[in-house]
Structure 1
Amino acid sequence: MADRAPGPELLGTRLRHLLELLDGDVAAVYADLGLPGFRPRYTPVLVALAGVGPTSIKTLAETTGVTHSAASQTVARMAKDGLVTLAPGADARQRIVHLTDRARELLPVLDAEYAATSAAARRFEAELPYPLSRLVDEALAALRRRSMRQRIADVAPDLVPPAERSP
């Protein structure tokens, strides 16, 4: 049994491990650049803000391909780290994210790192039999069509409350 590779039942665990490897090495590059503690998830937000200017968390979520909740959490952490500020939007529920002067000073270094990471990611994908980014896109689309919870209910209906099951 120990010789057998893990199957899909450990998919979440293995994906977290993959993400740890990817993010850990990118974070190490930030430390090499004199930015210890800088999180890889910050860069897409800063690049987006540099491109479009102050914008809503909703727009940042759409631009960076994450959920509103994930974007909101990232922006909150970035505000604590002095990289962005938040201001009320036209709607009381909306918050507009602005770069700080500190973030603007980091942009040349982050632009270079982002370009290098993008090139390295393309080379990494070229080593794979199937582009990981394409596979992730397809997996996300499949889960939008039918959630993992619904899929579990399909094979084990007693594990999911009837009200949560889909037809």
Structure 2
Amino acid sequence: MKTTVKNDRIAVPIIIALSILVPIIVLILMNLPERYNFLGLELGTLPLFHAVLNASTAVLLLSGYFLIKSGDKIMHRNVMITAFGLSAVFLISYVISKISNDPVPYGGEGFMRPVYFFILISHIVLSAIIIPLVLFTMYRGLTGEYLKHKKIARWTFPIWMYVAITGVLVYLFMLPYY
């Protein structure tokens, strides 16, 4: 137990700092006055990549859920680490996208416009909330604190799944405008 407390003194402040800094950095980068397309990518390239990452993450999350329900802890761990890795790649790619391209406005009208903005806003808000949830869930699982892991995973799983699925939906809504 002393090792856990000692590890918590290091890990918890790091998780909290990342949970605050990552959304702030993304917000700053989204509002840069000038764009720097240093990769030379076309406008629609990264959004498609993001949708693939989000869809893959959703599949992995669902797989991880069924694996833990079936008792396969090792495969569950591996699948969830892979989902975390894809989410990290997504975040880095998303930041590159925001640095590289001007924001693309949604051009839809009528009933679909409020639907899109509800999905987009809930996706953005929950994307910020999911950062500490995922980090704490991963930390508790990897340190063998399974009761704490299970308790927080009950919140993390549905929110992370929602963020992954709505990420794909946002892409599909925006597809005609890229």
Name the TM tier (shorter chain): under 0.3
- Name the TM-score, length of structure 1 as normaliser: 0.25
Larger gyration radius, structure 1 or structure 2:
1
Which structure carries more relative contact order (alpha carbon 8 Å, separation 6+)?
2
